[in-house]
Amino acid sequence: PIAGWTAAKILWVKENQPELFQKCKHILLPKDYIVYILTGKSSTDVSDASGMQIFDVKKRNWSDEVLEKLDLPKSLFGEVHESQEVVGTLLPQIAKTCGLLEDTLVVAGGSDNACAAIGTGTIREGEAFISLGTSAVVYTHLDQFAQTKDGGIHLCCRCTCDPRLSGAGAVPHGARACS
């Protein structure tokens, strides 16, 4: 796994702080933690999950093969949703604290660059954008899943209402493609 991404970080904790890893009940990305606090449900969306290096982009679910190889229990990882899907509603105490109705819907959301693609209008094959920030990404879309032979492009899911479509992008330590 690429050292800066989630799978490598999980393995580092597992190998270097096993007592901490044993206490772990959920592994959540930042937006997914917020969804957990709001709904009490451990979940993620396909666009963020596909950047964790333990996700099968083509099947749009956790990779049993990778999880087995890394000896990571699938139970640590939440239910996977499409980005626009409803995860649940607000917990009663959260609704009360925020002054919202308990039946307020909470959706899965999406990764930063997958959402930025929508915001920049980069939603069709052949369109691309560059994101310079914590990472440097060249992001483009593909109309269908495209497996890379050498692993030089990271495949990930995009967060549009048409989950069949794919995207691609390059990051400083390799390349990234989104499905």
Hey, which residues are catalytic here?
112
Query: Which residue type sits at 120?
Result: T
Q: How far is CA 116 from CA 64, 119, 159, in A?
A: 29, 5, 10
176 near 137, Cβ under 8 Å? yes
Half-sphere exposure of 103 (CA within 13 A, CB side): 0
Alpha carbon of 119 to those of 3, 108, 114, 154, 160: distances in Å? 29, 17, 9, 21, 11
Give the pair of three-digit tokens for residue 50.
């596909």
Tell me whether strands 166-171 and 174-178 are parallel, antiparallel or unpaired: antiparallel
Q: Is 98 exposed, middle or buried (0-12, 13-18, 19+ CB in 10 A)?
A: exposed
